[in-house]
Amino acid sequence: GESVGLHLPTLSVQEGDNSIINCAYSNSASDYFIWYKQESGKGPQFIIDIRSNMDKRQGQRVTVLLNKTVKHLSLQIAATQPGDSAVYFCAEKGNNDMRFGAGTRLTVKP
């Protein structure tokens, strides 16, 4: 079946560097994507979303890019901080559900 997937299971970056987390999706009809951050022992926390009529959306220190041609989206975190260490999920919103990838664990080194 169609799914949402992430390119890398782990990512380690130096504090202050920028982080890029990638995600691929297979359903070309998908029109709404969300990035979540999940810290240990907590539920997923909404970071930023994007609809298919946009290529880019920016939040506070985060940017999501959507490339519909290759069905790829990415989450960019500027000036990564220790508090950004977590597992990041991209999710594809369906009619009544959301499909999540397996997640990328981001580790920020001091």
**Per-residue x/- track, 34-73, another protein (CB under 8 A):** x-x----xxxxxx--x------------------------
Does 101 interact with another protein (rule: CB under 8 A)? Answer: yes
Helix, strand, coil shares, percent, the chain, to 5: 5, 55, 40
- The alpha-helical segments, DSSP class H, found in the chain are none
Query: Minimum distance from CB of 101 to another protein (Å)?
Result: 5
- Secondary structure element (H or E) that encloses residue 46, with its range: strand 45-51
Residue ranges binding another protein (CB under 8 A): 34, 36, 41-46, 49, 89, 91, 93-103
